[in-house]
Amino acid sequence: MKKTAIFVIAFLFALLLWNVFVYSGDMTVNVDGDEIGGPLGALLAMLFAGGGTLIAVLVMLVVGAVLAVVFAGVGIILIGGLGIGAAVLALAISPLLLPLLLPLAVIWYLVKRSNRNRIIREQAV
């Protein structure tokens, strides 16, 4: 598959070069009703197309930068709002979670006490 892709790309490139060198004289540019043809028309067509492409690239970069700044600002506001909402939600349901936190506190106390006793025994030896 990779070998055929190389041949296909080389063939398409050869067709592009053939088209540029053989048929470029048939290009015409229409400027204010005047048709400019021949090699000068081909040169002007490539110049205008390249200039338009450069302008399009510049516009896309500027739009991308503006969107990145706008969406970053919106993202920061959104994450801040979610954080505040999570804090408010935690404060609202914290009294309801108290029965779940009591067994957790007892287990935590027992584990901490056993670790403290083990450390004391290791220091005594």
Predicted confidence pLDDT, tens digits, the chain (125 residues): 678 889 999 999 999 888 777 765 566 777 778 887 777 777 777 788 888 888 999 999 999 888 888 888 888 888 888 888 888 888 787 777 777 778 888 888 988 888 887 877 788 76
What is the predicted pLDDT for the residue at 62? 93
Q: Residues 89-107, buried b or exposed e (16+ Cβ, 10 A)?
A: eeeeeeeeeeeeeeeeeee
pTM higher than the cut 0.75: no
What residue ranges do the domains of the chain occupy? 2-124
